[in-house]
Amino acid sequence: MHTPCFAAQVERALGTAAEELAAAGNPGAAFAQAIVRAIPAAQHFTLPAGGRLFDDGLRGLDTDLHAIRLPYPVIALSFADGARRTLVVAQELHEAERTTIVVQVAVDTGDGQGWGFYPCTAQPKQRHDDGSVAWVCFDSIGSRLDRTPMHEAVMASARSVLELIEALTCNNVASEIVERVDPAVNARRRRQGKLALYETRVLVVRVGEQVHAIGSPVGDRNGPREHLRRGHVRRLPDGRRTWVQCCVVGSRALGVVKKSAYVVEVERA
């Protein structure tokens, strides 16, 4: 299965950019350096087009934003949307006995200019009644960037972090590494000036006896549900959450369904 990971490309491009910006005294260098430092420490995921997993208003997330935790201390999410490619780096910040998720975004718009980055950090700030989350962005001196094009772009990319967390709250979802990377091979590649290799995780949806696929009656939703849609969280009668998404179709007897365009595998238990 093709699982594009853009981390190594971003690491090299922003490493060069950080040196140039630092030499020019540009405060944006600190943001590029932070992304470059985070990449080797991160667990890497590849996501569907646009980084979107759900159409459910993030209803599977805890309502207290400070109670939300990343699956790992540092994660990096790679996803594309047409020619546009995005890498989102998220880390947990612990201060004043509270935990906040901090996000930075690198992007290649596909216009031939290569990888760039937004010189800001973003944090989830407020949960609205409809379930959506408002983010705040800060520049190099800590000033807020509200209602700016950069704020809107970063907020749209940062949503992918919350959707990944939401997916991993489901009892039938796990993350698995596609292919292991030998550290010795990686060290040799770096010495040779080649791009590093990073182990990349994909989401795996396991369809077992107690998990109902689209089209199966659960709760008060008994109609046929085999239309295409992004995933959604379904709360089972026993209180568990399960992920239902567009490549889970038909009955368990159909076996394994793979949809590489969504970078999600569906397995029989």
Is residue 237 one of the residues assigned to a domain?
A: no
Predicted confidence at residue 232, as pLDDT, reads 60
**Please, are residues 46 and 200 in contact by the beta-carbon 8 Å criterion?**
yes
Residues 6+ apart with CB under 8 A from 202: 1, 3, 45, 46, 175, 176, 178, 263, 264, 265
* Domain count along the chain: 1
195 domain-assigned? no
Residue-range definition of the domain harbouring residue 32? 7-168
| Residue 204 included in any domain | no
Residue 189 inside a domain? The answer is no
Length of the chain measured in residues? 269
In a domain? residue 139: yes
User: Rounded mean pLDDT of 113-138?
Assistant: 86
Which residues are within 8 A (CB) of 73 and not within 5 positions of it... i.e. 6 or more apart? 41, 91, 92
Q: Which of 25-29, 147-151, 170-174, 175-179 has the highest mean pLDDT?
A: 25-29
- Asked if pLDDT for residue 223 goes beyond 50, the answer is no
- 108 falls within a domain: yes
Judged by average pLDDT, the poorest of 20-34, 177-191, 251-265 is 251-265
Mean pLDDT of the chain: 78
187 in a domain, yes or no?
no
Structure token digits, residue 6: 């853009």
Quote the radius of gyration of the chain (alpha carbons, Å).
Answer: 19
Among 2-6, 15-19, 91-95, 217-221, the range scoring the smallest mean pLDDT is 217-221
Q: Is residue 54 situated within a structural domain?
A: yes
